[in-house]
Chains A and B, each alone.
Chain A
Amino acid sequence: MTGPFLKPKRKNPLARTTQPLLPPQARSRKAHGLTLAAATGRFVLQCCGECGRYTYPAREACPNCLSSDLTFRDAPTGGSLLSETQIEVTSDPYFREHMPWRTGLVQLDCGPIVIVHLHGGCGGPGSQLKLSLQLDRAGQAVFFAKPVLEVPHMEDDPQWREMTADPRHRRVLITDGRSPLALPMAQALKKAGAARIFVGVADRWKPLDQQALLAAIEGVEFVDLDLTSERSVQELAMDIGAKVEILVNTADHVRPAHLFDAGAANAAREAMDHTVMGLMRLAQAFGPVMRSRGADGAAGAVAWVNVLSVHGLSNVPQFGVHSAAHAACLSLSQWLRTELRPGGIRVINAFTGPLDTEWFQTVPPPKVAPKAVADAVLDGLKRGLEDIYVGDVAKDIEARLFDNPKAVEREAGQ
């Protein structure tokens, strides 16, 4: 059984900080079909187009009928535990730090037998389990089995916490307090048990609309942060860099400009400065310290969230500059993900369609409420996702890009 995850004690300043280690990372290219599913919170297995049987591990041909028509398809998540092993001793450097570790052999309802990481609340052999694909600290897909029914403190299981980025007892930095996302994000983080919520505010000499509402949230602390200033970002990192376990980058800069407008270059430069270069400055200032704190106690650094426009995946002319800036952010974010991986820090991209905010005032519905983005980010943190699509527009574009990216491009220009 799992006990509640209590607030960790203050760190002993005389003790060396534990350095992050990663679980084994080797995977075949085929197996990244599972990585894709785990990144978005789906449960898939290879399924044969000829005989219809599911198979695991990932392979090139169906072990039943030898057909090569194997595709990853959504699979039922149920299974029963065949056997369990509690590992007490291992030579693997990562798991040595997490002993004991519970694993099991599960007979999936859809056929294959898989090795799983076993939640502390699961019963012994014969018990029914609910499986998911999770990204471990190395960013690789693994099977995780939980009890079918909710048990107390389900989310506090130490093995589950290694697969997720739960904000409980963690300190979070929201980078842009002027964003309409800041308030619902801070509220959701508080509700999820975040210990402290730093809210970055640029140009403190300008009024801050949500100041009173943000200040009313216990644990919120305003900090000076201007992503367009290297000095500002660096100085904040000097102050609180080693206190940020989750960074939520809400920075955005939406300004309409036509590609051929005289001032479009200025608009583009400003947008890039706020978003792309802002992310770069954040990465330079907060990346190294967060990476070094990936194993700093049970509530060490764990995640970096970027809220991105889904139009970064395919340009929409109406928001051409915005699309281009977010495409660059996405590229930078992928780079950051690779750089933070050695620390076990999860980089989460939340792709959203047009928000229900002033800069998308003239865009017809459906639009995404800022609270929906906050809820989706919290869900992503608690489930350990990597790519989140928020709202109908983003989900639609994701599906259509998967199907035919050229069609998405053509239709956006019409």
Chain B
Amino acid sequence: MSGDILSKFAGALASGAVRVVDLTHTLSPDFPVIVMPPELGQSAPFRMERISRYDGGGPAWYWNNLSFGEHTGTHFDAPIHWYTGRDLPLNSVDTLPPADMIAPACVIDCSRQASEDADFLLTVSDVMKWEEQYGRIPARSWALLRTDWSKKSGTAYANLTADGAHTPGPDAEVMRWLVAERDIIGFGTETIGTDAGQAGHFSPPYPAHHYLHGAGRYGLQCLTNLDQLPPTGAMIVAAPLKIQNGSGSPLRVLALVQERSTG
């Protein structure tokens, strides 16, 4: 039976009936990373230093040494990332249950609101309106907040001013509600973090981190190409690096999308 499902799936991939969408930004030295007050510890940006390139360091081969923080580029947050998830079982990327690495996604399009207001906050009523149109968010789904923020770059992407970052995200209540009432497996955004730029001022501070990780759920951020996903029905493949006791990792995030025309 399972062989039958997977062979159909293979056929759908081969025929193009199922399209693979890459939701990942290229890991590059210039991609903004989260900025903490300078007296606190900082996430190392992505860096690549050459070992050899068909030269004296290695005549026939090209390879590099990499360095980066766990939370660099398009990346995954595990529950152990936040204090609320520190005592949970299986809370780090190496113990993450493999079954959780593949899950369906609901894409909530707030690109219009985010274009009008950099500090746009997703609320419960926004999600309920979405549900009126597309149905209730199924349990163990990813809730992905589409803002088209990924189309910005550099200064506009980070959008830092003297009072901190101004980027859209969820308010505190919608995060509590999505986890408690909709049982989402995780929350994903196009911005630098799962939380809004000003979320340090919310109650609790950084509510996406607080509620998601406190309940053993996950975060995805710096996603791109969310505009290529349908509101429902996409399957997300998000497998972080298996880093011992790791709190997160850059990863390749793929979405499997069934083309409508080939129903």
| Interface residues in chain A, defined as those with a beta carbon under 8 Å from any beta carbon in chain B | 203-207, 226, 228-232, 255-256, 263, 266-267, 270
Contacts and interface: CB of A to CB of B under 8 A. Distances in A.
Given A205-B158, A206-B160, A230 B39 contact: no
Contacts of B125: none
Given A204-B155, A231-B48, A255 B162 contact: no
B41 A204 contact: no
Given A231-B29, A232-B29, A206 B38 contact: no
B41 A207 contact: no
19 contacts: A205-B32, A205-B153, A205-B155, A206-B35, A206-B160, A207-B155, A207-B161, A228-B47, A229-B29, A229-B45, A230-B49, A231-B29, A231-B48, A232-B29, A255-B38, A255-B39, A266-B41, A267-B41, A270-B44
A263 B41 CA distance: 8
Nearest to B33: A203
Nearest to A228: B47
B157 interface: yes
Nearest to B29: A229
Most chain A CB inside 10 Å of its own CB: which residue of B29, B48, B160 = B29
A270 B47 CA distance: 13
B41 A226 contact: no
Interface of B: 29, 32, 35, 38-39, 41-42, 44-45, 47-50, 153-155, 157-158, 160-162
A38 B58 CA distance: 46
A374 B32 CA distance: 31
Nearest to B154: A205
Contacts of A205: 32, 153-155, 157-158, 160
Given A205-B155, A263-B41, A226 B161 contact: no
A203 B38 CA distance: 14
Contacts of A207: 155, 160-162
B161 A256 contact: no
Given A228-B47, A229-B45, A255-B38, 4 more contacts: A205-B154, A207-B160, A207-B161, A232-B29
Contacts of B35: 206
Most chain A CB inside 10 Å of its own CB: which residue of B41, B42, B153 = B41
Nearest to B49: A230
B198 to A, nearest CB: 16
Given A205-B154, A205-B158, A226 B39 contact: no
Contacts of B29: 226, 229, 231-232
B115 to A, nearest CB: 19
Nearest to A224: B30
Nearest to B159: A205
A252 to B, nearest CB: 12
A135 to B, nearest CB: 35
Contacts of A206: 35, 155, 158, 160
B159 to A, nearest CB: 9
B43 to A, nearest CB: 10
A226 B44 CA distance: 13
A24 to B, nearest CB: 36
Nearest to A281: B49
Contacts of A230: 47-50
A245 B38 CA distance: 33
B41 A256 contact: no
Given A205-B155, A226-B29, A231-B48, A256 B160 contact: no
B73 to A, nearest CB: 14
A207 B35 CA distance: 12
A394 B162 CA distance: 34
A204 B154 contact: yes
Contacts of B50: 230
B47 A229 contact: yes
Contacts of A232: 29
Contacts of B38: 255
A231 B39 CA distance: 27
A263 to B, nearest CB: 6
Nearest to A231: B29
Contacts of A267: 41
A206 B49 CA distance: 24
Contacts of A226: 29
A166 B154 CA distance: 37
Pairs A-B, 7 closest by C-beta atoms: A205-B154, A205-B158, A205-B155, A229-B29, A205-B32, A230-B49, A263-B41
A17 to B, nearest CB: 26
B64 to A, nearest CB: 10
A329 B29 CA distance: 24
Given A206-B35, A230-B49, A231-B29, A270 B158 contact: no
A202 to B, nearest CB: 10
B48 A256 contact: no
A256 B39 contact: yes
A263 B40 CA distance: 10
Contacts of B49: 230
A263 B162 CA distance: 27
A205 B157 CA distance: 8
B70 to A, nearest CB: 13
Contacts of B153: 205
A265 B35 CA distance: 20
Contacts of A256: 39
B120 to A, nearest CB: 20
Contacts of B157: 205
Contacts of B39: 255-256
